[in-house]
Amino acid sequence: MSSIVEDKDKALSTVKQKRYWRSLDNLAETPEFKKIVEREFPEGASTLNDPVSRRKFMGIMGASMALAGLASCRRPVQKIVPYVVPPENLVPGMPQYYATSMPHGLSSYGLLVESHEGRPTKIEGNTLHPSTLGSTSAQMQATTLALYDPDRIGAVTLDGAAKTWDDFVKFWRGEFATYKAAGGAGIAILTESHNSPTMAKLAKRWKSKFPKAPWVAYESISDENIYAGIALATGKEYLPSYNYDKADVVLALDSDFLQRDSESITAARGFADGRRVKSVKDSMNRLYVVESMFTLTGGMADHRLRVASSEISAFALALAAELKRQGLTVAGLKAQGPSFSGDKKKWLAALAKDLIKARGKSLVVTGRRQPSHVHALTLAINSALGNIGKTVEYHAAPDAIFPRRDDLSNLVSKMNAGEISTLIIVGGNPVYDAPADTKFADALKKVSNVIRLGHSDDETANVSNWVLPQAHFLESWGDTRSVNGTLAITQPLIDPLYKGRSAIEVVSLVLGGRETPGYELVRGTLRDVIGKINFETGWERTLHDGLLAKSASQPVAVKMKSGALNNYPAGSVSITDSNLEIVFYDGNLHDGRLANVGWLQELPDPVTKLTWDNAALMSPATAHRLGVSNSDVVTLQVDGKSLEAPVWVMPGQADNSIALALGYGRRMAGSVGTAVGVDAGALRTSGTFSFAAGVTVSSTGKTYPLSSSQDHGSMEDRPLIREATLEEYRAAPTFAPDMVETPELESLWSDIKYDTGYQWGMTIDLNVCTGCNACTIACQSENNVPIVGKEQVAKGREMHWLRMDRYFIGDEDDPQMAQQPMACQQCEMAPCEQVCPVAATNHDKEGLNVMVYNRCIGTRYCSNNCPYKVRRFNFFNYTKDTSEVAKMGMNPDVTVRSRGVMEKCTYCTQRISRAKLTAKKDDRQVADGEIVSACQQACPTKAIVFGNINDPNSEVSRIKERNLDYEILAEINTRPRTSYQARLRNPNPELPSKAVEG
Amino acid sequence: MSTAAAKKETIPLDAPLVLGNPSFSDLSETIGGITEKKAPVQWFLLVGFFASLALLFAGSVGYLFWEGVGIWGLNVPVAWGWAIVNFVWWVGIGHAGTLISAILFLFRQRWRTAINRFAEAMTIFAVICALLFPMIHVGRVWVVYWTLPFPNQMMMWPNFRSPLLWDVFAVSTYFTVSLLFWYVGMIPDLATLRDRATTKVRKVMLGIFSLGWRGSNKQWKHYERAYLILAALATPLVLSVHSVVSFDFAVSQLPGWHTTIFPPYFVAGAIFSGFAMVMTLAIVARKIYKLENIITINHLDVMNKIMLATSLMVGYAYSCEFFVAWYSGNEFEQFAFINRATGPYAWAYWIMITCNVFIPQFLWSQRIRRSIPFMFVITIFINIGMWFERFVIVVSSLANDFLPSSWAYYTPSMWDVMTYIGTFGVFFTLFLLFLRFLPMVAISEVKGVLPAANPHYRGPVSSGGQS
């Protein structure tokens, strides 16, 4: 034991010695650095810790954790059935894939996890699962890094003193007897929301064991308003399930359904399926978006209207009135909407006409931010349009534990009244994210015994008595239900690295004072579902598939309750120059639980392109009026709360509406996420939970440096993203390749034909790419791409092999947005290859531009000569200090690059090699679709296709034949292997179309 | 000093190249004496100062090797910054020496004798400074020798298509030939110093380096033949080295780099900056070492004319680039140049234009051409302007290239600055050592242009010197 202590001490002393990153910047005295030093900006003060040194610290902490970590990297002892390769075929070096599911609020995401020698390394989607359909989001991908987070707590503590699980069990047995005798008086449990049959069973048991004890579920970001709206309209809480693929006309009211909504993957897939255009004969759906802040959904819109979130309610009402005017009755609506004039009136009329025309094939969807009555009205409109049962369905959720903010408020009152002596907090981080007016932390002081199950030593753990380490979902057994009721299994890929227990294990322990392994709990539940006969086969099958086949529920028939809309507020809030609003939104870090995941901190926000920070987003006009610009720090005040935040000017933002991302400004997130950005929660009360009007903004005169990964948003009229309307495309089907005249180009060298064997190529369909960043993180996870920290990003040294280029088109205040994934184009005539003095980058016979890291001397000439600027340079040894724990999550098939070498996208050459080897062993050719690159795999809209272009029947070859296909900068004779499909918009001919630039 | 020429505002073609009509021994004494007498205090102060700067360079490079090129302000897209700017700038400065020595020698420009040694030394040291940069700027400096073609167990040759490799050959060849040329030219003078040597050490050292020079007719014959051949060999190198350096840019496809005008444009710029630096140094040295009679105002006047001519050439190149960008119809090319003059680096562009095109126009005036303070200031401006020319070419082209999404602004770090300043330390330390220990003016050649060297010379020896 002493050796562990010694090692830790040694590691900590190294922390002190190895401070040169910091001193580098001290010495460098860059203006940015000076600015940080001079700033009196408490929320961000620790940004002083250059993230690089923060990473270093993490590395050193990790080294001390390695003892714990390495001891745990054995194969799980409980039985898990591999998805693809059965265990007897385990070949060292060959990854295995296991199906599992990730619980997330009331959603469940079915995943397939790649595991190397017992270490999960890569998250992929489970094609069988209805919520992921084989794809993933950036956040799902990043959960592997959260698993290997060296800042997770590794031991049970009581008031800071080390204890064991046995100590806790012993302690709880005593408490349990007392509370059980009292019928649960004095005890309460606070959990996250769950949609798990086992958890639901436990909740039922809680009610019978402790009838007087409340079970409170709270989520900082959830669909609570939607459920409440559905309940308001129909009398019961249902989960909505949208079929975007069946919708010809979609209206999104303040909804980012393509990116941040709970079921964004299915939404994006369905939406893309309704939008994909293969030839002039195809049609595509039309998307109207009404929103306050620019979202990716707004970027995909054919028509976008900037409306403050506070005004959406009135807008929905006006829409209902307009529908009524055009002959469609929205049942139960009494209130009259505001009457619009001018363009807005025309817009509304055209929209209503379009919706009515597409009756039964249209869809109105409202975002989770909007209050329940708007959701009730949305349901009424969808019902009137005949969409229910077609484009939108509702499912009962018998196993759901719904999140309820009111319950939390009640709990806090009870705590303040001294009625609660023991509070059990299972997951979540209420001290950080509970509404500010509840003063949860203060109330917690009145509870004598706080028991907290959580991942890290965060804000809540810090004020709890018993702190219990929580197992990550990749370490634990569980079960989840997806929106449509499909039952999925969560199975562990690895033994808990930090002695954690899962939520169900702890709740079960709390309920009986007895330890039951999660495995038994889940099997018990499944036994009830599958039945005792054939249970073992059914269980194996479920583990193998990751879900229980045919467990989806039938959609329920909903009916509008009479009088549901009686109380719809007729008066409208106007957001004006003197009445600003603030909108809280769900950014890369979600509610802050992902704050310590470096990948997500460094992932540029898909719209603002900010990394390592959140900022008060405002429109250019508003910023101009307030006299502030990027990086100026302002004080935001609303409802008696105030917060200082830096400004970021966002074109497309509704005027006088300020958006601020949640999840930042964590006070105790760990070595990566602590004090990154500002805590929007400081402004957020029960009354201003989603958005609020009456904000005052005052300038502080201070500035704060923000790191954005893309400084220039205009395409400068260059034909990079080629775009046309559907009409234009039909009139000129080859507009995309024709946009640039490419004469017959000759090469100085004798041309290589590349016409034998495999020739790899890729296509990216810009018409369905939403820009969600899932590919970027998938690539980062697959290819061991390092993070570099805020200062390095500010210097322009981010390492993402696949980046998302975001351009604005048109008017500065109200532009359109377009996204373009950009990675190595694998040019056949690669400019990089010709200039490398040591021939470190070369072409292989399959057309890949390959990088020989060992040969690279780092002249960076290749990067200068790359017209796409997709090459990434290791300016420092960015991977040197990766913690031992985080190393476990690295892909062993990909070299980790050191200082001074260039790197870039390889088309996942390791996946190509593996497929080729497998095919060779079977004495066959690699089949089309057998190789799936990491980005392609993650893409929710299937915009990316990879394959052999030498095979005319491969999917990629057939896509390249389409007339929308074009290559970027083909005119300079690079002959890229990646081509793009032009982007189309489908504007309503009755509405003025914005200028579409080429 | 006050010559008739200066009064008449024109220089007669037969104006004496050396003023004050010194005798041969006067010359040996004036120039050789500098290396023999105790160095003045100023010299020690200067060496102390510049050697400290050289240490700064060593320190900066040491830290660079320890940490990586991330300590510089580089990023993607601007993956080349000050290091490459400095490289091209120093190489350009390293141009004048060989030009003065070789080309002017072949053209029988006898006035060059006063400054050729000086200029050649400057060339050598400037090229040393230049060569340092490509070597230290690579990411993995410990394998920089892989750029050399040598047989190895990897069976790997460098990539002969890469202009960086051509650079390796061009600059190293230039350096070798320049060094050789400098040394060969110095042999008779070293022998003169050897003959004047009074200490054992000087005798032995100079004896070794003068290679047994006796000054016999036969030796002179061989020597002059060798010198001529070396001059003929060096002449194409003057043109080739900077042409090849320009290929680093011209051969790439980057708008602003990819242009066929670069080789002549770079050569003209190099001569321009090389002359400016020779002038800067010569003006100071002739003052300190009282060589006004040897490096005369007429010499400076001629050099000023060359600077004016090359300034017009680079000015033409600047405008030609714009014309070609417009004429090509290539939108990327057009943007690159408009952006240069109006974009984020417009300040650098206009510094360049002001220093390189506008300010040298003063040299049309003979009064300014013959005014030491004026020309000194102008040469400083040209040195600055030519550094900015390279900065504009390297950085502004990279910062705003094809895809606007990756555009970024480049800001140098303090390490960039310190490394650059450090090379001045290296350069001037070497130069001061040269001034102290080697004949800074080619004694034998200047003797050759003295009136007394003319076999028909019958003039009086006014100051009583002996021949």
Q: Do B67 and A856 touch (CB under 8 A)?
A: no
Bridge partners of residue A634, in order along the sequence: A645, A699
A194-216 average pLDDT score: 92
Interchain contact B398–A (C-beta under 8 A): yes
Q: In whole angstroms, how far apart are CA A315 and each of A257, A289, A344, A345, A374? A: 19, 12, 10, 11, 10
CA A883 to CA A885: how far, in whole Å?
Answer: 5
Is residue A923's pLDDT more than 90? yes
Residues of B in contact with A858 (CB under 8 A): 69, 138-140
Residues of B in contact with A720 (CB under 8 A): 403-404
Q: Do B156 and A839 touch (CB under 8 A)?
A: yes
Taking Cα atoms as reference points, which of A605, A615, A597 lies closest to residue A680? Answer: A615
Is residue A89's pLDDT more than 80? no
Is residue A80's pLDDT more than 80? no
User: Given this model, what pLDDT does residue A77 score?
Assistant: 53
CA B451 to CA A271: how far, in whole Å?
Answer: 94
Per-residue pLDDT of chain B (467 residues; tens, 9 = 90+): 444 434 444 555 566 666 667 777 777 887 777 788 888 888 899 999 999 999 999 999 999 999 999 999 999 899 999 999 999 999 988 887 788 778 878 877 777 777 788 888 888 999 999 999 999 999 999 999 999 988 888 888 999 999 999 988 998 899 998 898 889 889 999 998 898 888 899 899 999 998 989 889 999 999 989 888 888 888 888 888 889 999 999 999 999 999 889 999 999 999 899 889 888 988 988 888 777 877 888 888 988 999 999 999 999 999 999 999 999 888 899 999 999 999 899 999 999 999 999 999 999 999 999 999 999 999 999 999 999 999 999 999 999 999 999 999 999 999 999 999 999 999 999 999 998 888 888 888 877 777 777 777 766 554 444 43
User: Which of B69, B157, B159 is closest, CB to CB, to A875?
Assistant: B69
Q: What is the pLDDT of residues A769-805, one digit of tens each?
A: 999 999 999 999 999 999 999 999 999 999 999 999 9
Q: Do A859 and B74 touch (CB under 8 A)?
A: no
Listed in order, strand segments (DSSP E) in A858-936 are 872-873, 902-903
Residue type, A249: V
CATH number at residue A363: 3.40.228.10
Q: Do B79 and A873 touch (CB under 8 A)?
A: yes
Interchain contact A852–B (C-beta under 8 A): no
Is residue A340 a part of any domain in this protein?
Answer: yes
Taking Cα atoms as reference points, which of A310, A338, A959 lies closest to residue A691? Answer: A310
Considering only alpha carbons, which residue of chain A is nearest residue B84?
A859
Query: How much of chain A exceeds pLDDT 90, in percent?
Result: 66
Bridge partners of residue A648, in order along the sequence: A617
Last residue of a domain, one of A334, A361, A396: A396
Do A366 and A414 lie in a common domain?
no
Do A488 and A591 lie in a common domain?
no
Distance from CA of A612 to the nearest CA of B (A): 18
Domain chopping of chain B, boundaries: 16-149+165-453
How many structural domains does chain A have? 4
Higher per-residue pLDDT: A615 or A337:
A615
Bridge partners of residue A395, in order along the sequence: A239
Q: What is the pLDDT of residues A435-448, one digit of tens each?
A: 999 999 999 999 99
Domain with A487 in it? 156-222+403-545
User: Given this model, what pLDDT does residue B288 score?
Assistant: 80
SS (H, E, C) B15-65: CCCCCCCCCHHHHHHHHHHHHHCCCCHHHHHHHHHHHHHHHHHHHHHHHHH
User: Given this model, what pLDDT does residue B455 score?
Assistant: 75
CATH number at residue A679: 2.40.40.20
Is residue A361's pLDDT more than 70? yes
H or E segment and range at residue B361? none
Is residue A427 a part of any domain in this protein?
Answer: yes
Do A233 and A216 lie in a common domain?
no
Taking Cα atoms as reference points, which of A935, A800, A943, A773 lies closest to residue A138? Answer: A773
Is residue A74's pLDDT more than 70? no
Of A22-36, A81-95, B295-309, the one with minimum mean pLDDT is A22-36
User: Given this model, what pLDDT does residue A620 score?
Assistant: 92
Interchain contact B174–A (C-beta under 8 A): no
Count the residues in chain B: 467
Interchain contact A373–B (C-beta under 8 A): no
Are the C-beta atoms of B275 and B95 separated by less than 8 Å? no
Residue ranges of B 40-99 with Cβ closer than 8 A to chain A:
67-71, 73-80
Q: What is the pLDDT of residues A583-605, one digit of tens each?
A: 999 999 999 999 999 999 999 99
Is residue A51's pLDDT more than 50? no
Do A455 and A388 lie in a common domain?
no
Interchain contact B251–A (C-beta under 8 A): yes
Neighbours of B126 (CB within 10 A): 27
User: Given this model, what pLDDT does residue A350 score?
Assistant: 92
CA A759 to CA A949: how far, in whole Å?
Answer: 5
Do A666 and A676 lie in a common domain?
yes
Do A169 and A252 lie in a common domain?
no
CA B401 to CA B412: how far, in whole Å?
Answer: 19
DSSP for A805-816, written as a single string: EEEEES-SSS-E
What is the ipTM for the molecules in this complex? 0.90
Pairs from A728-733 (Cβ < 8 Å, separation ≥ 24): A728/A996, A729/A277, A729/A280, A729/A964, A729/A982, A729/A984, A730/A280, A733/A279, A733/A280, A733/A963
Are the C-beta atoms of A204 and A353 separated by less than 8 Å? no
DSSP assignment letter at A390: T
DSSP assignment letter at A939: -
Structure tokens at A266: 């299915």
pTM of the predicted model, to two decimals? 0.88
Q: Do A875 and B162 touch (CB under 8 A)?
A: no
CA B395 to CA B386: how far, in whole Å?
Answer: 14
Residues of B in contact with A857 (CB under 8 A): 138-140, 143-144, 146-147
Residues of B in contact with A818 (CB under 8 A): none
Residues of B in contact with A24 (CB under 8 A): 67, 71
Q: For residue A371, say if its preceding peptide bond is cis, omega within 30 degrees of 0.
A: no
Residues of B in contact with A792 (CB under 8 A): 70
Interchain contact B155–A (C-beta under 8 A): no
Do A834 and A852 lie in a common domain?
yes
Helix (H, G, I), strand (E, B) or coil at A903: strand
Are the C-beta atoms of A290 and A251 separated by less than 8 Å? yes
Mutation site, A861, A864, A865, interface B, largest B CB count within 10 A: A864
Last residue of a domain, one of A356, A381, A396: A396
What average pLDDT does chain A have? 86
Is residue A809 a part of any domain in this protein?
Answer: yes
Are the C-beta atoms of A885 and A893 separated by less than 8 Å? no
User: Given this model, what pLDDT does residue A343 score?
Assistant: 84
Q: Do A875 and B74 touch (CB under 8 A)?
A: yes
Is residue A115 a part of any domain in this protein?
Answer: no
Q: A339 falls in which pLDDT band (50, 70, 90)?
A: confident
User: Given this model, what pLDDT does residue B459 score?
Assistant: 65
User: Given this model, what pLDDT does residue B16 score?
Assistant: 65
Bridge partners of residue A401, in order along the sequence: A194
Q: What is the pLDDT of residues A942-974, one digit of tens each?
A: 999 999 999 999 999 999 999 999 999 988 888
Last residue of a domain, one of A396, A421, A451: A396
DSSP for A821-846, written as a single string: EE-----TT-HHHHH-TT--EEE-TT
Listed in order, strand segments (DSSP E) in A243-302 are 249-253, 286-291
Residues of A in contact with B146 (CB under 8 A): 838, 855, 857
Q: What is the pLDDT of residues A528-572, one digit of tens each?
A: 888 888 888 989 889 889 899 888 999 999 888 888 888 888 777
Query: What is the CB-side half-sphere exposure of residue B249 using CA atoms within 13 A?
Result: 27
Are the C-beta atoms of A942 and A772 separated by less than 8 Å? no
Do A598 and A647 lie in a common domain?
yes
Q: Do B76 and A872 touch (CB under 8 A)?
A: yes
Is residue A506's pLDDT more than 90? yes
Is residue A143 a part of any domain in this protein?
Answer: no
CA B117 to CA B185: how far, in whole Å?
Answer: 8
Interchain contact B434–A (C-beta under 8 A): no
Taking Cα atoms as reference points, which of A906, A905, A946, A904 lies closest to residue A926? Answer: A946
User: Which of B79, B147, B335 is closest, CB to CB, to A838?
Assistant: B147
Q: Do B74 and A860 touch (CB under 8 A)?
A: yes
Do A821 and A923 lie in a common domain?
yes
User: Which of B67, B147, B331 is closest, CB to CB, to A837?
Assistant: B147
CA A249 to CA A360: how far, in whole Å?
Answer: 10
Q: Do B76 and A861 touch (CB under 8 A)?
A: no
Structure tokens at B271: 């001569």
CA B130 to CA B160: how far, in whole Å?
Answer: 22
Do A392 and A407 lie in a common domain?
no
Distance from CA of A963 to the nearest CA of B (A): 24
User: Which of B68, B156, B253 is closest, CB to CB, to A865?
Assistant: B253
Q: A508 falls in which pLDDT band (50, 70, 90)?
A: very high
Mutation site, B162, B259, B330, B333, interface A, largest A CB count within 10 A: B162
Do A648 and A659 lie in a common domain?
yes
Q: Do A969 and B331 touch (CB under 8 A)?
A: no
CATH number at residue A446: 3.40.50.740
Are the C-beta atoms of B346 and B353 separated by less than 8 Å? no
Interchain contact A864–B (C-beta under 8 A): yes
Could you tell me how many CB contacts below 8 A there are between chain A and chain B? Answer: 172
Interchain contact A466–B (C-beta under 8 A): no
Q: What is the pLDDT of residues A243-273, one digit of tens each?
A: 999 999 999 999 999 999 899 999 999 999 9
Distance from CA of A757 to the nearest CA of B (A): 26
Do A515 and A643 lie in a common domain?
no
